[in-house]
Amino acid sequence: MEDCAVSFWIYIGVMSILVGGAVKKFLTFQIGAMPSVVAWLGATLLVERLCALCMPAVLARLVLCVSCWLYFTWATPKPFLPVEGKAVFITGCDSGFGNATAKRLDAMGFEVFATVLNLDGGGAKHLRRVCSSRLTLLQVDITQPQQVQQALLDTKAKLGMRDLWGLVNNAGLCVNIGDAEFSLMSNYRGCMEVNFFGTLTVTRTFLPLLRQAKGRIVTISSPSGEHPFPCLASYGASKAALNLFTNTLRHELEPWGVKVSTILPSAFKTGQSSNTEYWEKEYKNLIQNLPPSLLEEYGEEYLLETKELFQSYAKTANEDLSPVINTIVDALLSPQPQVRYYAGPGLTLMYFICSYLPLSISDRFLQKLFVQKKVMPRALRKQQGLSLNDNNNSIKENMNNSNNNSFTKIID
């Protein structure tokens, strides 16, 4: 009888630990954490069944000890590594994630090397005003190998005998407002030059310092590099190349003790994304350079709707950059950083649908998630006998719907 009473209370303790751990993981749920969540649920079910069979008190105590060990090993977050003496190099700090990361890391006590395109620009002036003397601003266009090499020399001169702990590859470019067929080749090349080749150049240049420190490489990528978002072919292709390079690098640098992490943000208001003049300029450039035959087949109203959709999504993007900045800090200071971080709302659902549901469902989901186009290309409308007025009304209706749609859109 006494053994049964002891077993009962131990059963309550074990189930509280396991269920509490499972709930905690669900509250911070990410697709990358799926195996550990499943493991917790499996362990909870197994212990529940054992306890239902009135296990002996000795066995119940053993299960309690194992459960406590698992809880404190898996569920309790490890303390961050100390910041003191650590230096980090960050690209693309004129605005957005880079600017916010430079400020956060400087406030934490890091020695920050922040690259900007314009040393006299608003972003650089803001960093000089709010950051400490530890922060060093460097003018670097990452598509220019000579400037990257000079940045390495300047960084080494400032560090002296000290190590470079981290590299944050943040600089990126998205210049696309249309379908893959009529997107300008300059857009494809521009995205590849900055997002892939530029990041590749910086990473290779600074790798000797990072290997010496057994440090960290943190790269800001995009879900569009893993999923086929309509109208983001040039940007997505460059990020896909970047993702493969980063994953390969992660395997190769493991023996050196260098940790490599990739961050995949959801929709945030960064860079030129909320600049109306920027979108107008890109649209006019597209119209002027598009072959007349292709413009006739798609129709200017089709291109106009796409531009309006991009502007609408940019206006409703999240202005709070802290989810991304927090993951950067975790990747730099966690004893065991994650290989992939999903930063921002909506990504868990999107990755679950795209990873586990049939292709027909995931394709339809992506089409509805990003560009809810109403206007058909002009050539297709002629085949179906639709008038231009019908589609002009569709444009207005689509704009109203997109403004009322609060679901997360994926564009960096």
Cα distance between residue 71 and residue 16, in whole Å: 11
Task: List the structure tokens of 160.
Answer: 């002296």
* Closest to 302 (Cα-Cα) out of 378, 394, 208, 358: 378
Q: Which of the following is catalytic: 71, 188, 235, 342?
A: 235
313 is catalytic: no
Would you say the C-alpha torsion 366, 408, 98, 328 has a positive or negative sign?
Answer: negative
Nearest to 343 by CA among 245, 222, 199, 181: 222
CA distance 100 to 93: 8
The Cα–Cα gap between 171 and 121 comes to 16
Helix, strand, coil share (%) of the chain residues, nearest 5: 60, 10, 30
Tell me whether strands 87-90 and 216-220 are parallel, antiparallel or unpaired. unpaired
d(CA 224, CA 332): 24
Give CA–CA dist 308/312, Å, rounded.
6
Residues 6+ apart with CB under 8 A from 404: none
Any idea which residues carry the catalytic annotation? Answer: 235
